[in-house]
A = this chain, B = another copy of it.
Amino acid sequence: ATSAHPPVNLAVIGGDGIGPEVVAEGLKVLEAVTGPGAFATTSYDLGASRWQRTGEVLPDSVLAELAAADAILLGAVGAAPGATDVPSGLLERGLLLKLRFAFDHYVNLRPSRLYPGVPTPLADDVLDRGEIDFLVVREGTEGLYCGNGGTVRTGTPHEIATEVSVNTAYGVERVVRDAFERATRRRNKITLLHKHNVLVNAGGLWRRVFESVAAEHPGVTTDYLHIDAAMIFLVTDPQRFDVVVTDNLFGDIVTDLAAAVTGGIGLAASGNINPDRTFPSMFEPVHGSAPDIAGQGVADPTATILSVGLLLEHLGFAEEAARVEKAAVADIAARRGQPRRSTSAVGDAIAAAV
């Protein structure tokens, strides 16, 4: 290693489909910006393909090794659509969510910014209102995602299936607090999304916690929207948002819409962050494994490269993070009207520019 510091240990999970292809470009940019040897990467073979070969989703020994890494970069996991052998939820609950929960990724960070030159499904009069640049802080360890539920009389005409949303004051407060702190480093505006008029128990808790943390941040303007009303504003007035904080499921829904509005999930980055650094944080593009275009070298690696930017920022490489984002944004802006480039050509171009 040429670096003065010991290398950062980065665990890499390429995953399935286009996952390994986009991750390769992310690593290319990472090396270009930090220099050779600054990061030591270890690859882990996890995902649908491993499960199909070995029957293993996430062996305990692998979980233990991942726990010892400084950070994790993940591509995407998921089988080809025809693969009926992969049970629904196997990889989601058994791998992705298992990692988010095991490593206490309570801040699921999803920046939503419409970069110059990016086509969007929104009309000009919406775009004319101003720049779209907000940050969704999605709770990552609770709510309906905790897997609390079951079925009785399964498969009969009298089956009952339940799903329990579990929300704790501890869990809500820590993510709300993180979101307020991020707001103070941005435009000092925060919007809580929930549905407290129907989900009175969970919504009541979120609201009370939000208001009490707000009282400690008098410089931050607060807003509240029901999740259904938020849908409307996301397409008619996305400029009203700066930091958005919400629960796990609402955050899942809202961030895909936010990604669509800001140019598609091909550009949407995310960080599954453990702000207390008790376990490694994990960075991944919001898109999936896209088996239909896998192996063709045509997947857009930009979301993964932007996720590498979030990873650098989290690890304290603020200057390198800014360079990655700047180079990616310049590359995105230069795409307009140009023929589509290959996955590696995009990676090469951004790596050359950082």
* Copies of this subunit: 2
A150 surroundings in chain B (CB, below 8 A): 201
Could you tell me if B205 and A159 are in contact, using CB atoms closer than 8 angstroms? yes
A265 surroundings in chain B (CB, below 8 A): 232
Give Cα A229 to B257, complex, Å: 8
A168 surroundings in chain B (CB, below 8 A): 158-161
Residue in B closest to A233 when the chains form the complex, CB atoms: B260
Could you tell me if A88 and B203 are in contact, using CB atoms closer than 8 angstroms? yes
Give Cα A155 to B249, complex, Å: 23
Given contacts A168-B158, A228-B256, contact A144 B199 (CB under 8 A): yes
Could you tell me if A164 and B162 are in contact, using CB atoms closer than 8 angstroms? yes
Q: How far is the CB of A18 from chain B (nearest CB, A)?
A: 16
The count of chain A contact residues (Cβ–Cβ below 8 Å) is: 68
Residue in B closest to A148 when the chains form the complex, CB atoms: B162
Q: Is A236 part of the contact surface with B, judged by Cβ < 8 Å?
A: yes
A229 surroundings in chain B (CB, below 8 A): 256
A234 surroundings in chain B (CB, below 8 A): 257
Q: Is A8 part of the contact surface with B, judged by Cβ < 8 Å?
A: no
A151 surroundings in chain B (CB, below 8 A): 201, 204-205
Could you tell me if A257 and B256 are in contact, using CB atoms closer than 8 angstroms? no
Q: Is A339 part of the contact surface with B, judged by Cβ < 8 Å?
A: no
A218 surroundings in chain B (CB, below 8 A): none
Q: Is A315 part of the contact surface with B, judged by Cβ < 8 Å?
A: no
Q: Is A136 part of the contact surface with B, judged by Cβ < 8 Å?
A: no
Could you tell me if B161 and A163 are in contact, using CB atoms closer than 8 angstroms? no
Given contacts A149-B199, A167-B162, A201-B163, contact A121 B236 (CB under 8 A): yes
Q: Is A320 part of the contact surface with B, judged by Cβ < 8 Å?
A: no
A126 surroundings in chain B (CB, below 8 A): 121
Q: How far is the CB of A142 from chain B (nearest CB, A)?
A: 10
Stretch at the interface among A56-64, A66-74, A89-97, A304-312: A89-97
Could you tell me if A202 and B149 are in contact, using CB atoms closer than 8 angstroms? yes
Residue in B closest to A167 when the chains form the complex, CB atoms: B161
- Chain A stretch 183-205: residues in CB contact (< 8 A) with chain B: 195-205
Given contacts A89-B196, A169-B156, A227-B253, contact A162 B235 (CB under 8 A): no
Given contacts A145-B198, A198-B145, contact A161 B204 (CB under 8 A): yes
Q: How far is the CB of A122 from chain B (nearest CB, A)?
A: 6
Could you tell me if A231 and B260 are in contact, using CB atoms closer than 8 angstroms? yes
Give Cα A126 to B120, complex, Å: 10
Q: Is A4 part of the contact surface with B, judged by Cβ < 8 Å?
A: no
Q: Is A82 part of the contact surface with B, judged by Cβ < 8 Å?
A: no
Give Cα A264 to B198, complex, Å: 22
Q: Is A165 part of the contact surface with B, judged by Cβ < 8 Å?
A: yes
Q: Is A208 part of the contact surface with B, judged by Cβ < 8 Å?
A: yes
Could you tell me if A88 and B204 are in contact, using CB atoms closer than 8 angstroms? yes
A-B contact pairs, 7 of them (CB 8 A): A89-B197, A93-B197, A97-B198, A149-B165, A163-B165, A232-B259, A235-B257
Q: Which 7 A-B pairs have the closest CB atoms?
A: A228-B256, A231-B257, A161-B205, A159-B169, A89-B200, A232-B260, A161-B201
